[in-house]
């Protein structure tokens, strides 16, 4: 085998040209190739130093930065920068301690230093936003202890997969017998942090109904027949309607009605329903779907919260509402690649392993549960740099052949 570095450098050059041309996915390709380059060049001692010293210290410093509003002070200083003494005064941190922490943040490319002053970067300025500040709190205080506890937890369980919502790495790390969501409700700061984390998780990424992702015009709007039902799209378990509202904005001239469904307390919490571009309806997705023969039923990150048995029940509850050859189920979910898994996909799988007794699924996994529910996979649509794909499914022929 030849030196692996040179082919990577050639691909980086090509990706750089694509990035210069503003090609979709080129930014993510450069990041991934950067990781390839580090993996090809890094020796074991450097790997240990980065993984077990530099990166844990970085996450701790980001938590520290939230506490003293460090990134906000750097952002406010703008192009003028800020000296060590002034930054120490604003944060209330000992100047020598501050300098040592700032040096590590500089080394980790989070902030910069020039002519005796500290400067924010596009990254640190972005992290100064409230939802990212709360996301750092959630990741450091809630998720990280669960990951740190993996070795001991799995050793105690003889390296078996967790199967209980009340006895997993999360419960062991936080000394609780509560499932993840009830625990969040019982610890209000963390519930707010988790909500912020979820708002930040997909920020800057394409939505499934955006141009170049799922072909809404060709697969939903074309062929829409109001004589079946005047509903174009049902957003099943769609929360307060974030997705369906953006869908309405992106496809303002869409035919038919849009309907949001979720549990009664969620629907009741929606303000100014009459002003919204969709209808709302209380519905438990484990019960039969009340809207028959809609063009499409969308479920965004619903099934990944459930095991296979529950996922099949959710799909089976939808199945009687489907019109053969017309209605579609759209699952907006991660599809794990076995050959080329991405960090975005595998890190979410680790979140599910740590905090729930469930997993992200491969294409084969998705085909299996769809088949058991009497459905067939039509096609998987993906978008560069987006963790979730759109899994389009419909009734299997055997499910409606008399």
Average pLDDT over residues 112-126: 97
Q: Rounded to 10 degrees, what is the CA torsion of 54, 56, 57, 62?
A: 120
Give residue-wise pLDDT tens across range 332-353.
999 999 999 999 999 999 999 9
Beta partners for residue 260, in sequence order: 235, 280
**Confidence band (pLDDT; 50, 70, 90) for 188?**
confident
Average pLDDT of the segment spanning 276-295: 96
CA atoms within 13 A on the CB side of 133: 14
Residues 347/353, Cβ–Cβ less than 8 Å: no
3-state SS class at 257: strand
Mean per-residue pLDDT, 211-232: 95
Question: Residue 158: its pLDDT value, please?
Answer: 97
User: Does residue 139 register a pLDDT over 90?
Assistant: yes
Alpha helices in 264-376 (DSSP H): 264-268, 308-318, 343-355, 363-372
Q: Token digits for 130?
A: 């409230």
How many Å apart are CA 387 and CA 301, to the nearest integer? Answer: 11
Find the length of the chain. 402
What was the pLDDT predicted at 402?
44
Residues 363, 389: contact at Cβ < 8 Å? no
Q: What are the pLDDT digits (tens) for 47-92? A: 999 999 999 999 999 999 999 999 999 999 999 999 999 999 999 9
Region 84-106 average pLDDT? 98
151-190: b or e for each residue (b if 16 or more CB lie within 10 Å)? eebeeeeeeeebeebeebbbbbbbeeebbbeebbeebeeb
- Three-class SS state of 300: strand
With 60 as the cut, is the pLDDT of residue 30 above it? yes
Task: Say whether pLDDT at 2 is over 80.
Answer: no
What domains can you pick out in the chain, each with its CATH number? 130-201 (no CATH), 216-400 (3.40.50.150)
pLDDT at 362 over 90: yes
Nearest residue to 117 via CA among 97, 101, 102, 100: 102
Q: Give the residue numbers marked as catalytic.
A: 304
* pLDDT score at 173: 97
pLDDT band per the 50, 70, 90 thresholds, residue 228: confident
The predicted pLDDT at position 3 comes to 84
| Average model confidence (pLDDT) across the chain | 95
Contact residues for 339 (Cβ-Cβ < 8 A; gap 6+) = none
Q: Do 262 and 237 contact (CB within 8 A), yes or no?
A: yes
For residue 388, is pLDDT > 50?
yes
pTM of the model: 0.91
Please state the rounded mean pLDDT for residues 282-307.
96
What would the mean pLDDT of 1-29 be, rounded to a whole number? Answer: 93
Q: Decide which of 188 and 250 is more confident.
A: 250
399 pLDDT more than 90: no
Tokens at 224, concatenated: 């829409």
Tell the residue number behind the tokens 């410093």, with chain if given.
61
Report the pLDDT value the prediction gives residue 109, as an integer from 0 to 100: 97
Identify the CA nearest to 385 among candidates 196, 143, 244, 207: 207
- What are the tokens at 332? 């907006």
**How high is the pLDDT of residue 400?**
54
pLDDT at 1 over 90: no
pLDDT of residue 274: 84
Mean pLDDT to the nearest integer, 306-316: 96
Q: What percent of the chain has pLDDT over 90?
A: 91
């Amino acid at each position: 085998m030849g030196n692996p570095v040179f082919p990577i450098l050639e691909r980086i050059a090509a990706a750089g040209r694509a990035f210069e041309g503003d090609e979709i996915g080129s930014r993510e390709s450069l990041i991934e190739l950067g990781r390839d380059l580090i993996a090809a060049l890094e020796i074991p001692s450097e790997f240990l130093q980065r993984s077990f010293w530099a990166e844990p210290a970085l996450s701790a410093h980001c938590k520290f930065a939230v506490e003293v509003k460090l990134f906000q002070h750097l952002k406010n200083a703008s192009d003028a920068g800020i000296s060590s003494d002034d930054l120490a005064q604003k944060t209330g941190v000992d100047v020598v301690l501050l300098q040592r922490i700032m040096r590590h943040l500089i080394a980790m490319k989070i902030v910069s230093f020039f002519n005796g002053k500290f400067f924010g970067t596009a990254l640190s300025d972005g992290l100064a936003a409230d939802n990212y500040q709360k996301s750092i709190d959630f990741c450091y205080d809630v998720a990280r202890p669960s990951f740190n506890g993996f070795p001991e937890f799995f050793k105690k369980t003889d390296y078996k997969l967790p199967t209980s919502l009340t006895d997993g790495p999360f419960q062991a790390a936080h000394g609780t017998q509560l499932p993840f969501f009830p625990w969040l409700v019982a610890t209000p700061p963390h519930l707010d942090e988790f909500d912020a984390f979820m708002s930040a998780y997909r920020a800057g990424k394409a939505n499934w109904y955006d141009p170049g992702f799922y072909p809404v015009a060709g697969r939903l709007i074309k062929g829409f027949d109001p004589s079946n039902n005047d509903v174009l799209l049902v957003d099943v378990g769609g929360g307060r309607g974030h997705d369906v509202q953006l869908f309405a904005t992106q496809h303002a001239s869409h035919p038919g009605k849009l309907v949001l469904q979720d549990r009664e307390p969620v629907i009741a919490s929606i303000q100014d329903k009459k002003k919204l571009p969709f209808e709302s309806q209380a519905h438990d997705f484990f019960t039969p779907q009340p809207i028959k023969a809609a063009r499409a039923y969308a479920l965004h990150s619903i099934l990944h919260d459930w095991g296979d048995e529950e996922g099949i029940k959710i799909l089976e509850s939808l199945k009687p509402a489907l019109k053969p050859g017309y209605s579609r189920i759209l699952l907006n979910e991660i599809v794990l690649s076995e050959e080329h898994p991405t960090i975005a996909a595998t890190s979410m799988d680790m979140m599910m392993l740590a905090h729930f007794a469930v997993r992200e699924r491969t294409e084969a996994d998705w085909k299996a549960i769809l088949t058991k529910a009497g459905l067939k996979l039509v096609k998987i649509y993906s978008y560069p740099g987006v963790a979730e794909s759109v899994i389009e499914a419909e009734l299997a022929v055997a499910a409606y052949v008399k």
